Amino acid sequence: MNKHKLVLAALLSGMGYMAQAQQGAKPEDTEIYTPVPPVVTAGKTAADAPSDAIQLFNGKDLNQWVLTADHSKPADWKVAGGILTVNKQSGNIETKKSFTNYQLHLEWRIPANITGTGQARGNSGLFLASTGPGDAGYELQILDSYNNKTYTNGMAGSIYKQFVPLANPARPAGEWETYDVIWTAPTFNTDGSVKTTARVTVLFNGVLVENNIELKGPTQYIGQPHYQQHGPAPIKLQAHGDKSEPLSFRNIWIREL
């Protein structure tokens, strides 16, 4: 037998084995009936909260938020007309509740009269887990990225200073933008070392910009990121100190996974 015939014979014998293994198998053998997934009533559009979501901002109040700097103080950003607007004087705000793995939807809008350039033009951020005071945590950058040049791992859709977005689907200032995030929290060994890294997938205006990436640790403004053990954590919104006009949010909801 030459080499080609040998290969063919080996293939045929393998197929024969597979056919034998399937003998007597029924279609029902590979059908799953339980457990049944829970019924969830979907929103009218993908932006609307499904029935099992927690409304983090319902358009009326900030009852579920506190100041990052002082958890005993209510978040005092401006709420009007169903919209939440950053109060730069009071600083970052975060949820009272902590989360581990989740799906989150958030809408943000850079004011039409935005001024400034680079990182100082509509800067905010969605901290996917707030691991401490100030800007501690994993920041999904929010910024005017419509014709606004800056470092690419600091533009909208970036995991700040770690991952450049796969595309730039930013809309002009004055228009609403959406983030849909799937967050998998990091896990740690008992000695505090990383067992599994944090992972995130981000859709920006419906466009995939971060595809199940493995974060290097919480956001580090200067230097290399590194992990520190933490448990469930709040969601945080950034009041950035730039001089540009404050941006707004609406329709923030989360589904714990």
**CB closer to Mg ion, 236 vs 255:** 236
**CB closer to Mg ion, 125 vs 157:** 125
As measured in angstroms, the least distance from the Cβ of 134 to Mg ion is 12
User: What is residue 80's three-state secondary structure?
Assistant: strand
As measured in angstroms, the least distance from the Cβ of 151 to Mg ion is 12
> What is the x/- site pattern for Mg ion, positions 200-239, by CB under 5 A?
--------------------------------------x-
Kindly determine how many residues on this chain lie close enough to bind Mg ion according to the rule CB under 5 A.
3
As measured in angstroms, the least distance from the Cβ of 162 to Mg ion is 13
Task: Say how many C-beta atoms besides its own lie within 10 A of residue 116's C-beta.
Answer: 15
> What is the x/- site pattern for Mg ion, positions 107-136, by CB under 5 A?
----------------x-x-----------
Pick from 200, 221, 220, 240: which is nearest to 110 by CA? 240
As measured in angstroms, the least distance from the Cβ of 219 to Mg ion is 9
As measured in angstroms, the least distance from the Cβ of 242 to Mg ion is 9
Whole-Å CA distances, 3 to 6, 7, 9, 10: 5, 6, 10, 11
**CB closer to Mg ion, 65 vs 108:** 108
Q: Which residue is nearest to Mg ion (CB)?
A: 125
**CB closer to Mg ion, 134 vs 174:** 134
Length of the chain: 257
CB 215 within 8 A of CB 202: no
Region 142-181 residues binding Mg ion, contact defined as CB under 5 A:
none
Region 237-256 residues binding Mg ion, contact defined as CB under 5 A:
238
**CB closer to Mg ion, 43 vs 118:** 118
Distance CA 132, CA 137 (A): 7
**CB closer to Mg ion, 234 vs 255:** 234
As measured in angstroms, the least distance from the Cβ of 211 to Mg ion is 21
CB 69 within 8 A of CB 236: no
**Cα Rg, the chain, nearest whole Å:** 23
Tokens (6 digits) for 53: 């979501």
> What is the x/- site pattern for Mg ion, positions 64-103, by CB under 5 A?
----------------------------------------
How does 188-219 read in b/e, with b if 16+ C-beta sit within 10 Å?
beeeeeeeeebbbbbbbbeebbbeebebbbbb
Please, which residues have CB within 8 angstroms of residue 83's CB and are 6 or more apart in sequence?
Answer: 59, 109, 248, 249, 250
**CB closer to Mg ion, 33 vs 221:** 221
Query: Which positions touch Mg ion (CB under 5 A)?
Result: 123, 125, 238
